[in-house]
Structure 1
């Protein structure tokens, strides 16, 4: 059985780390599942699984370098080069969600956001589905905010535009480092807002070297 989950699996100990489902951190979930199920179990980061799948026979098929993004409850990422996963010696390659939001200012992005990882203003706090909803307030779900924006609600539309701007700024920093041939988006928040504007000011959001 194969399991994809948020967070990384420590290559030495097999323990889960950096998972936004905090109860899993520090646990050897693979051993627990094998003991309960009585069969072999393989565990990997969900964004890594997504990226490798897309690089082999999905939207990134044929691309030399693929950066896969999952924006859902959290904000994960994975890297595939020549259809091979690049995970790094600590299994954290592609974990862009816990880098600081590029160009953060309180005037542009609102109050500082504390992240469960212990840092402030992580990308995940701004562009994950949960972060998108939390920053809007009013106990609203991401889908409801997007629907309000589609119906012309000015507050919701402004919030959506900021999301696109923050998302593009974050991707620009990855592009400048990795220079991927293809970026593939996945996760719940990547499937909403089909009828909403998706472009952001080039001078602010697409500061990519050419």
Structure 2
């Protein structure tokens, strides 16, 4: 059976068809048009194109920002704000003429990497997205953990743990709170922290490159970043203790991160010993669409 996945991103939408063994049969992309009705049409057209290239219809899973409220059935907390308050899944089903499954994009990353990626074989996997924003997703025994209220893994909107005096109350977050992890450990958070302390403007990738080249301001900013990310991950260890952490998003490309994180995590772990796999997503930018395609596998409890 062909599995169709859709990765609904803020700037682009991708659809792909996977064979049962995980091989790509087709991949197509289009810019996200930035409005609701046009986005529904774009998804339909991409699915039709992917299936045409693959030579048959398949099940359809969609990874999208935000989550579906189990109370109302409406999308909430999506940074593509035109999705919020909409019956996105039902409207896609109408457009495609078949049932679909929909999950948060970070959950799709976690599922992809747990099935045949960097966390293959792990009983529990926590996905960390550290890009423009900050998100998390959890898979246990091969199944997405959506939570009783559909908000499991909303890691980016928890306060930075074990804060230092100069980190309180923290930057204002778009969600209405202060000091959320998203304001500290996203790529945007790294960029803002560097600017606040150094008075200079560099993008996240530029800060990482400058740190490797010996720039003192950039090296100090990256050191603060690793420390904060370590504390944030230690909180996940103390709550869930996953066997594997997999990382996506722009900052996940910083190779130094994986060697330095264990020492940043361990002091905050409530235990006498701690180990876990810490690795970038094997499938990189393809993980979202691959995880979405697999949402129809037996037992997945998603919208």
TM-score, length of structure 1 as denominator length: 0.86
Distance 1:54 1:163 in 2: 24
- 1:112 to partner: Cα distance: 2.0
Cα distance in 2 between the residues matched to 1:203 and 1:147: 21
- Out of 41, 51, 54, the position equivalent to 2:110 is 51
Q: Which protein, 1 or 2, shows the higher relative CO under an 8 Å CA cutoff with sep ≥ 6?
A: 2
Change over 3 Å in CA distance of 1:61–1:38 after alignment to 2: closer
Please state if 1:141 is matched with 2:203. yes
Question: Greater Rg, structure 1 or structure 2?
Answer: 2
Cα distance in 2, alignment partners of residues 201 and 65 from structure 1: 18
TM-fit CA distance, 1:144: 1.4
Match of 1:157 among 194, 207, 219: 219
User: Residues 42-191 of structure 1 correspond to what in structure 2 (within 5 A)?
Assistant: 42-107=101-166, 109=167, 112-137=170-195, 138-191=200-253
In the TM superposition, what is the alpha-carbon distance from 1:177 to its structure 2 partner?
Answer: 0.8
Distance 1:197 1:55 in 2: 18
Aligned length: 207
Deviation at 1:84, TM superposition (A): 0.8
Q: Deviations over 1:6-36 (max 9, x none)?
A: 221223433221223334322333344455x
What corresponds to 2:269 in structure 1? 208
CA contact (8 A) 1:3 1:42 kept: yes
Tell me the SS of whatever aligns to 1:206: helix
1:54–1:201 CA distance, 2 compared to 1 (3 A): closer
Return the alpha-carbon distance in structure 2 between the equivalents of residues 164 and 104 of structure 1.
14
Q: Does the CA-based 8 Å contact 2:230-2:264 persist in structure 1? A: no
The two structures have a TM-score, normalised by structure 2, of 0.62
User: Which structure has greater strand proportion?
Assistant: 2
Distance 1:189 1:202, change over 3 A: closer
- For the Cα contact (< 8 Å) 2:227–2:264, is it kept in 1? no
